[in-house]
A and B are shown apart, each in its own frame.
Chain A
Amino acid sequence: GIQVEQSPPDLILQEGANSTLRCNFSDSVNNLQWFHQNPWGQLINLFYIPSGTKQNGRLSATTVATERYSLLYISSSQTTDSGVYFCAGDYNQGGKLIFGQGTELSVKP
């Protein structure tokens, strides 16, 4: 089946550091999204980025659809950035997202 691989699985940073999270897809993907899951379980939308680059404050994302990967950049990390980051894509334009296993980020003060 279609695979979504996220790396690294775990990441520990010191506050103020930068990081890059990666998402690889085994097949072409549509409607790629990045989420941050808060400690209570809610998925917070970070980016809807089928292709190209977007920025929102300290976060930015790039999707290269032809090469089947997406990157999430976090700059000047803060302790509130801690949590699990998921990427997810839709393979048939039906809005049925397939998620990766997540990257668990821990930012230490």
Chain B
Amino acid sequence: KNEVEQSPQNLTAQEGEFITINCSYSVGISALHWLQQHPGGGIVSLFMLSSGKKKHGRLIATINIQEKHSSLHITASHPRDSAVYICAVNPYSGGGADGLTFGKGTHLIIQP
């Protein structure tokens, strides 16, 4: 079982819909990241969270540390939001420096 699980794996929605992507993890973490990857490989960091909620434009990310769960929401979705959204965590290693552990990503397609 992956340490980071995302759902759904694939999501197709109509323009304007409210989108939710979920991430659950099974290890203690110091931070959780939401990343966006477009075709061709480039990865953009959207959010880094250790508690609560962050908002940037139409994107909202929340995290519940006790439940080991995070969600990424997109309001008023647009075709340009089509991408793979990846959840990644910094496993807490007591001051160590582990790299990120990634989920497999959610492939989002927003149709006009």
Q: Is A bound to B?
A: no
